[in-house]
Structure 1
Amino acid sequence: MLRLKSLLILLLLATTLVNAQNNVQGWHLKDPQADGFNGISLEKTYRFLKGKKSTPVIVAVIDSGIDTTQEDLKSILWVNTKEIPGNGKDDDGNGYIDDVHGWNFLGNKNGNNLKRANNERTRVYYEFKDKFDGKEIDTTKLTPDEKWQFAAWLKAEAQMGVSADEKLQVQMLEAICKSIKRNDAVIRTEMNKEEYTSSDLESFVPETSKGKQAKMGYISCLKMLSLEEEPTNKELITELDEYVEGKKQNIANSIQKPEDVRAQVIGDDYYNINDKFYGNSDVMGPDPMHGTHVSGIIAADRNNNIGINGVADNVKIMVLRAVPDGDEYDKDIALAIKYAVDNGARVINMSFGKSFSPEKKWVDEAVQYAAAKDVLLVHAAGNESHNIDSVDNFPNPRMMVNNTLAANFLTVGASGDKNVGNGQIIADFSNYGKANVDVFAPGVKIYSTLPGEKGYGFLNGTSMAAPVVTGVAALIRSYYPALSAKQVKYAIDASAEKLTDSSLLQVPGEDRVALATDISITGGFLNANAALELAATLQPENTNKPVPNKKSKKKPTLVNSKSSKN
């Protein structure tokens, strides 16, 4: 679910530029009644928690990597105190050398890192092509694993073709990118600066006709892309280059089998889940933007009076790099989950996803391992405007072996605000599902940390919504550490703010409206204060069900549609 996988969330091929809005930095933390934004009421939450004792909580972020030098993150990184930094030894004997802040499952012992990976559809198609293509398959004679593989291969085969519209889209984006580069060269010379934003350019008055034409051409391209964010010229060109290159590679992959880039860089025995001591300690990796942004949402330092405030105030972030540009590998995700559990994580944020999972059994085993160790998993629902009740989305809590649902797994869709972005209450890109999305949380125009010592900026996605929930889960586990992962999930789900029964919402990707209860399990929106108040009423459990405190009569409240939830 990295930005290159759904870049059109940010770069929509439209003809108008989104209207300028008021400063919405931190809107996701605000209170609907007090501030007029559909946020999570965090200030109210901390008033409720004032005077209560908190304990440190380790939160694992499985992502693209994190910039460990960022000013708002460096103080909240998890430190493996049993490991001596930089001595080249496995001091704690866990099989991973110098894993001071976590581990990079996308590298090798020589320090090389995998940056880009092919999509899983392509990998599945070519992996099983020789086994299934052109053959009469008697499914009654297949093992359960082979049936899963065959079904995945049939789906991949059906999707391998590239439509004329997709090819045209790539051509259009490539033309826009070339135009931006051409105009950018002129603008940098005229402005006498190498990096600038669209606001900088708007206020700049070129002295030459060539400069004026370049400014007009650059701005026209931005209008065609309809950016909600304001990237610098360098960021925009890098994003477009990578996205176009990825799309062109997908087109090429539909004709010819791509190289196995993972094998070239990492060199593990991929199909052996027990071959797990690969990778390196470079948790930043070549492109840590996504993971850096996610981590800031969860726990950016709330006490340093700089930058932003994360949701949780007593958290240490464990960095697990396992998500490249492109689709993640099941083996890396499974091992990252187990590493997190074995090293003390209480909550794991998973802002990634894909539509194929050939080795799902490995990920399922890791999810069950986390459940056995009482660790909560928070997963982003995805950015394709899909109903994931009917469209595959992995990882998910549905176990292959017994078809049961993991009780320690939360799936999060993205909500918006009438004053943010296009004003939709459910983000128009968010996946949804009455049976598979637990709750919606803010995921539109979320301001957080970015790479660089003082990097900050906006990003969109369910990738941003999930860490908002993760932050609240960490707060519960910090202030009420005796509660189980299932109880934390219960507190978040049961306290989700509801719209009145008559409130209809625009369904993402469709020309229809629906009740909130028709597009998520709870039909509600994350509210940190309500979740913490409900958690306070729960007693530690020894059963499989949350146990309300009999002394308390507090119940989750509903909000009227006349509030900011309409």
Structure 2
Amino acid sequence: MIKPVKVTGLAVALVLTGFIAQAQQDEHAQSDELPKGWHLLDKAKDGYYGISVDKAYEFIKLKKLKGKTVVVAVIDSGVDTLHEDLKEVLWKNPKEIPGNGIDDDGNGYVDDVYGWNFIGNKDGRNLKQDSYEGARVYHLLKPKYDGKMINPATLKGDELEEYNMWVKAKARIEGHNGEPQLDLYMLKRLLKGAKQGDSILQVALKKGTYTGNDLDTMSTATEVDKAARANILYLFRANQRMDQTNKELIGDFDEFVAGEEKKAEAKDKVPPPYRAEVVGDNENDITDKYYGNNDVMASTPFHGTHVAGIIGAVRNNGKGMDGVADNVKIMMIRAVPDGDEHDKDIALAIRYAVDNGAKVINMSFGKDFSPQKKWVDEAVRYADSKGVLLVHAAGNDAKNVDTADNFPNPVYRGVKGKATNWITVGASGDPKAGGITASFSNYGKKEVDVFAPGVRIYSTIPGTTTYGNAQGTSMASPVVAGAAAFLLEYFPYLTPEQVKYCLEKSAQSPGEKVNKPGTDDEVNLSDISKTGGVINVYEAAKIAATLQPKTVVKKKAAKPVLQNKKG
């Protein structure tokens, strides 16, 4: 499973060695301060590597353009439908009468007012956690391939794809895939030490909740306090989360270790059928699609709420923060649990978004295996035929996705070709807070199209009037989705390919070397991404203004047929 393309992207795995060796961090290390909403700012005017949103709106005003409402679908964990900064921008199905228990619009989904929940049951139960896809693949195919003499040269097509997937899953689960294995014992020991240090600091500071910034200015009275401060402060700094709380930091560390424990157990234990026990559909039949419920909040709305706010939280209302786009409706489609999502749910979520009018789909999730990728590929082709752009987070493992799998992706399985209505986004930051590239971000000269701000992004979180920071390519992706929606608001005739062209062509090179994520190597941003730039909405709008409606070529692609094929 890809380490969080969700919530905060805690980089514990990347700093374990440093945590042990560098606990006595330099007392004069650079402060990690960034203003709230820094990702919207302009480098020349404000001094931060943002995306120049205000300049873009000034340009639109100068052109006297009026915006058209754009529907943006967010396939995610859920959304707080009561949040003060989101209530006005949530999509509401105009053909559905809320709460009457009738499928008024006849689309097969009863009372789908704000969208749909594909990981729930009609009886009201909702899936919260799920297993790792690699473990599911490993145990599903183990009886067929384990210990058998298989000659790959005799296989072809779907069977060869399946066998190769099994070999990869076996290597991953059994721990001989050539990648460094995390020492679970050491992880648990470090977590225990972090919790002990946290308890010491709560007493020393005389408060249960504190931030990394509080520790940065803290005076220590004893050697015990000094050691605890150094250890916890290192975790705050290494993860670029100085303004977040100890509760959040330790909580995410705890969650990360729990996830690693699940992976360790996967070799000997068949993953529990979490989804099957709740959802109740035939997961092997893509045509069995009328399942789930209309509860798009469920019990896990943090991630989706944060993502939705980045895209379109009400602008200039004096509350909390501003979204990138000023005239959007956010359609929430719940399909991402705490664990790896299922291909069927993602494929149907894409189709639901397209059929209900979305023009942009944000996908801040990912995994290492995709057993039914062809279902997702067909949904992507369907979106393309309807003029819908998909924006996907590159992932948070500091790996090269030119060579390492990260699903979903735009490369079609089993046939030649690659989706042209797709943008893959890496996470950028700012020199004032760790560097231009986020230390956790995946990268790839061929497969990562652009970078966008994804470090310490301030946005809506569940709680009606609550806001906070989170980071990850999960946050960078909605920055791009919001930018795409902005372009379509004011230039509604643009095709997905043209929107992508505008965003890529206008991406701004930082003009200096950047760190390759996960290393100290200095490279050009063009060495680790297709465009070598961070998106800039103002520059993209200027390019969009040069593209005329007559340049649009309407697609004649037929609606793909749903097939029950496994990839």
**Which TM-score bucket, shorter chain as reference?**
0.7 to 0.9
Unaligned runs of 5+ in 2: 556-567
The answer to whether the 8 Å contact 1:5/1:325 transfers is: no
Within the candidate set 163, 166, 182, 1:153 is matched to: 166
SS of the counterpart of 2:431? Answer: coil
RMSD (Å) for aligned C-alpha atoms: 2.7
The answer to whether the 8 Å contact 1:63/1:350 transfers is: yes
1:507 Cα deviation (Å)?
1.5
Once the two structures are superposed, residues 1-43 of structure 1 have per-residue CA deviations (whole angstroms, 9 ceiling, x without a partner) of 4447943269944334974344421111111111111111111
Tell me if 1:46 matches 2:63: no
Unaligned runs of 5+ in 1: 546-566
Q: What code does the residue aligned with 2:185 have?
A: L
The verdict on how the C-alpha distance between 1:265 and 1:404 changes in structure 2, with shifts beyond 3 A counting, is same
1:154 Cα deviation (Å)?
0.3
| Separation in 2, partners of 1:180, 1:67 | 34
> What residue in structure 2 maps to residue 504 of structure 1?
513
Q: What code does the residue aligned with 2:107 have?
A: N
Q: What code does the residue aligned with 1:523 have?
A: G
The verdict on how the C-alpha distance between 1:299 and 1:542 changes in structure 2, with shifts beyond 3 A counting, is closer
| Separation in 2, partners of 1:184, 1:322 | 39
Tell me if 1:115 matches 2:128: yes
> What residue in structure 1 maps to residue 468 of structure 2?
457
SS of the counterpart of 1:317? Answer: strand
Within the candidate set 495, 500, 509, 1:489 is matched to: 500
Once the two structures are superposed, residues 111-152 of structure 1 have per-residue CA deviations (whole angstroms, 9 ceiling, x without a partner) of 111111111111111111111111122445545222211111
Tell me if 1:27 matches 2:38: yes
Alignment of 1:75-114 (within 5 A): 75-114=88-127
Q: What code does the residue aligned with 1:166 have?
A: D
The answer to whether the 8 Å contact 1:170/1:248 transfers is: no
SS of the counterpart of 1:7? Answer: coil
Q: What code does the residue aligned with 1:486 have?
A: E
Alignment of 1:51-450 (within 5 A): 51-139=64-152, 142=155, 144-162=157-175, 165-176=182-193, 178-179=195-196, 191=207, 197=211, 219=229, 222-226=232-236, 227-229=239-241, 230-419=243-432, 421-422=433-434, 424-450=435-461
Larger displacement relative to structure 2 (395-404 or 6-15) = 6-15
The answer to whether the 8 Å contact 2:302/2:461 transfers is: yes
Normalized against structure 2, the TM-score is what? 0.87
Q: What code does the residue aligned with 2:189 have?
A: M
SS of the counterpart of 1:488? Answer: helix
| Separation in 2, partners of 1:492, 1:338 | 25
Normalized against structure 1, the TM-score is what? 0.87
| Separation in 2, partners of 1:393, 1:338 | 21
SS of the counterpart of 2:137? Answer: helix
The verdict on how the C-alpha distance between 1:178 and 1:357 changes in structure 2, with shifts beyond 3 A counting, is same
1:247 Cα deviation (Å)?
1.7
The verdict on how the C-alpha distance between 1:63 and 1:9 changes in structure 2, with shifts beyond 3 A counting, is farther
Residues matched between the structures, number: 534
1:275 Cα deviation (Å)?
1.1
The answer to whether the 8 Å contact 1:292/1:450 transfers is: yes
| Separation in 1, partners of 2:251, 2:299 | 13
1:365 Cα deviation (Å)?
0.5
1:233 Cα deviation (Å)?
4.8
The answer to whether the 8 Å contact 1:124/1:153 transfers is: yes
> What residue in structure 2 maps to residue 524 of structure 1?
533
Once the two structures are superposed, residues 439-495 of structure 1 have per-residue CA deviations (whole angstroms, 9 ceiling, x without a partner) of 111111111111111221111211111111111100111101111111111111111
SS of the counterpart of 1:491? Answer: helix
Within the candidate set 506, 515, 519, 2:524 is matched to: 515
1:84 Cα deviation (Å)?
1.6
| Separation in 2, partners of 1:49, 1:106 | 40
The answer to whether the 8 Å contact 2:368/2:407 transfers is: yes
